[in-house]
Chains A and B, each alone.
Chain A
Amino acid sequence: NAGVTQTPKFQVLKTGQSMTLQCAQDMNHNSMYWYRQDPGMGLRLIYYSASEGTTDKGEVPNGYNVSRLNKREFSLRLESAAPSQTSVYFCASEGKVYEQYFGPGTRLTVT
């Protein structure tokens, strides 16, 4: 039982490049989330998915797109990376009593 997995763990991009962050959970949870964490700030929600086939914007969606491919997988895409997107990205899934399970994170640097 791996819980929530994320790939890659680290990534360096040049401004304007694109990439997709992958996330998968094996706990049969319906809801999944993408957050970013920056120094001095709490985790901020980028996108949310209540179930397969549905997604909603969170607090900071600009510059990102998501795909809920199936119940297990929820990917985050940066179409044209900007230095302001340098951050640590966490994927999470939500359990039955609203507890969140986080993946190990992706540390992204955009130069």
Chain B
Amino acid sequence: RKEVEQDPGPFNVPEGATVAFNCTYSNSASQSFFWYRQDCRKEPKLLMSVYSSGNEDGRFTAQLNRASQYISLLIRDSKLSDSATYLCVVLLGGTYKYIFGTGTRLKVLA
């Protein structure tokens, strides 16, 4: 079983739609959680950290469920520019070990 699992997609959604991605992690020692965005042939860039109480940044909302060991990302009012691969990343507590998911690909269609 992979330590961090994501649905690879692609998720094809029309502009303006709301889309949600989930990510599950297997290590209960996971301490910090992140969503990164990666455009084709580019480097990953931090989209947002995920806090226990959930957090929002504009059209993006992230949630953490420690009991069920998953995190989610909700994108509202999708834009064409949101088309990218979204990586779920987990940091194991007390370590430098970041575990990356393989990513979920999103295509927003005009």
Chain A residues with a Cβ under 8 A of chain B: 31, 33, 35, 40-45, 48, 50, 56, 58, 90, 94, 97-105
Contacts and interface: CB of A to CB of B under 8 A. Distances in A.
Contact of A105 (B2, B4, B43, B101): B43
Given A42-B102, A90-B44, A100-B98, 14 more contacts: A33-B96, A42-B4, A42-B87, A42-B100, A43-B98, A50-B96, A90-B43, A97-B49, A98-B32, A98-B34, A99-B46, A99-B49, A102-B43, A104-B42
A40 B103 CA distance: 9
Contact of B101 (A35, A42, A48): A42
A27 B89 CA distance: 22
24 contacts: A33-B98, A40-B102, A42-B2, A42-B4, A42-B99, A42-B100, A42-B101, A42-B102, A43-B44, A43-B87, A43-B98, A48-B96, A50-B96, A90-B43, A90-B44, A94-B96, A98-B32, A98-B34, A99-B34, A100-B46, A102-B44, A102-B45, A104-B43, A105-B43
B11 to A, nearest CB: 18
Interface string B5-38: 0000000000000000000000000001010100
From B2, B4, B44, residue with most partner A Cβ within 10 Å: B44
B97 interface: yes
B43 A103 contact: yes
A41 B3 CA distance: 12
A45 B86 CA distance: 19
A100 B49 CA distance: 11
From B4, B89, B100, residue with most partner A Cβ within 10 Å: B100
B74 interface: no
A55 B52 CA distance: 32
B84 interface: no
Contacts of B34: 98-99
B76 to A, nearest CB: 23
A45 B36 CA distance: 16
Contacts of A104: 42-43
